[in-house]
């Protein structure tokens, strides 16, 4: 079934919200980041943004939350746009099969992260951003604001400070990268940028709009500005499909069948190429660090609409 009307998506989202709302609560918030531990775990929102400009929502779609690792997609796009092939000598494109902050895997592979969507890979991407841009925090913020069509998007400084203060494992990853010559800038400067990147706060509505360029071959639909070439966009979607959900990537592809990315703030965003983007937010996470109701919602969405890529 290929939906065409806004009312069709509205009906589907309302049905999904009703179904997941009847499920018994499972999972827990990411309490290892103190600022995230205080988030109300029972919030929920879902939003569809179509290439034709339609917006359909259910739940608290205007409530902002920390997008965490979803930001890795935007940072990676910024580096690909400038360097493309040169990035892949420092970061791989293979699924990790391990936790998002695995030190063992980085040691086993001699300081070359598996992909840019796990922590070690994202730290290398942050290192690249420091070299490419005079003020990378400001440039990243303006880039995400442009994608989201929302000038009020900002960093949640409380989350950034909380994450930076408790970044022991990420520091270990960064110093290990440094020991193998795969981190060029000061470790603390890289971590400061990385923690701010993860602390970007967007609503579900803004998040769905921000990734819509990846449903449109790398072009922002509202402005028609090209961010990535069609080939670069295709490859980034491929990385999201195979690497966007940590050590649950295969299961997500099996259950949902869309390129996407999750974050431990409870957000998930995915794209149906040439059709739409969809974002879900629910802070309770499973053992892999992915939103329990987010995955359930997206599984139901592709089952109800037939919009998986397979």
pTM confidence score: 0.96
6-305: CATH topology is Beta-lactamase (3.40.710)
Is 303 catalytic? The answer is no
Is 69 catalytic? The answer is yes
Q: Which of 39, 72, 91, 178 is catalytic?
A: 72
Q: Which of 12, 44, 69, 162 is catalytic?
A: 69
Averaged confidence pLDDT in the chain: 95
Is 72 catalytic? The answer is yes
Q: Contact at 8 Å (CB) between 216 and 272?
A: no
pLDDT band, very low/low/confident/very high, at 85 (cuts 50, 70, 90): confident
pLDDT at 3: 54
Q: Strands of 154-155's sheet, edge to edge?
A: 64-66, 200-203, 154-155
pLDDT band, very low/low/confident/very high, at 98 (cuts 50, 70, 90): confident
Q: Which of 9, 44, 155, 246 is catalytic?
A: 246
pLDDT per residue as tens digits for the range 263-289:
999 999 999 999 999 999 999 999 999
Q: What average pLDDT does the segment 82-108 reach?
A: 91
What b/e string do you get for 136-168 counting C-beta neighbours within 10 Å, with b at 16 or more? Answer: bbeebbebbbbbbbbeebebbeebbebbbeebe
pLDDT at 1: 45
pLDDT per residue as tens digits for the range 198-251:
999 999 999 999 999 999 999 999 999 999 999 999 999 999 999 999 899 999
pLDDT per residue as tens digits for the range 103-157:
999 999 999 999 999 999 999 999 999 999 999 999 999 999 999 999 999 999 9
- The burial class, CB within 10 Å (0-12 / 13-18 / 19+), for 70 is buried
Domain ranges of the chain: 6-305
Q: What average pLDDT does the segment 297-304 reach?
A: 96
């Amino acid at each position: 079934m290929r939906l065409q009307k806004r009312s069709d998506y509205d009906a589907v989202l309302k049905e999904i919200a009703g179904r997941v709302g009847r499920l018994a609560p499972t999972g827990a918030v990411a309490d290892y980041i103190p600022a995230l531990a205080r988030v109300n775990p029972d919030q929920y929102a879902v939003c569809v943004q179509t290439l034709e400009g339609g917006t359909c929502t259910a739940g608290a779609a205007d409530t902002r939350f920390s997008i965490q690792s979803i930001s890795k997609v935007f940072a990676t796009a910024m580096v690909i746009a400038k360097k493309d092939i040169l990035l892949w000598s420092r970061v791989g494109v293979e699924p990790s099969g391990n936790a998002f902050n695995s030190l063992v895997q980085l040691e086993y592979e001699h300081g070359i992260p598996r992909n840019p969507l796990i922590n070690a890979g994202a730290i290398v991407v942050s290192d690249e951003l420091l070299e490419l841009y005079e003020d990378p925090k400001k440039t990243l913020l303006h880039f995400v604001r442009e994608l989201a069509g929302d000038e009020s998007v900002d960093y949640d400084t409380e989350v950034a400070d909380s994450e930076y203060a408790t970044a022991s494992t990420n520091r270990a990853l960064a110093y290990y990268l440094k020991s193998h010559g795969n981190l060029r800038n000061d470790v603390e400067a890289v971590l400061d940028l990385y923690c701010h990147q993860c602390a970007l706060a967007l609503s579900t509505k803004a998040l769905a709009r921000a990734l819509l360029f990846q449903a449109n071959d790398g072009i922002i639909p509202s402005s028609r500005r090209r961010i990535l070439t069609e080939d670069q966009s295709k490859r980034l979607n491929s990385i999201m499909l195979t690497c966007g959900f940590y050590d649950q990537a295969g299961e997500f592809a099996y259950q949902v069948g869309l390129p996407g990315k999750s974050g431990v703030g409870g957000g998930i965003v995915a794209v149906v190429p040439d059709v739409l983007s969809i974002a879900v937010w629910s802070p309770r996470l499973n053992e892999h660090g992915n939103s329990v109701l987010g995955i359930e919602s997206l599984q139901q969405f592709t089952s109800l609409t037939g919009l998986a890529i397979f």
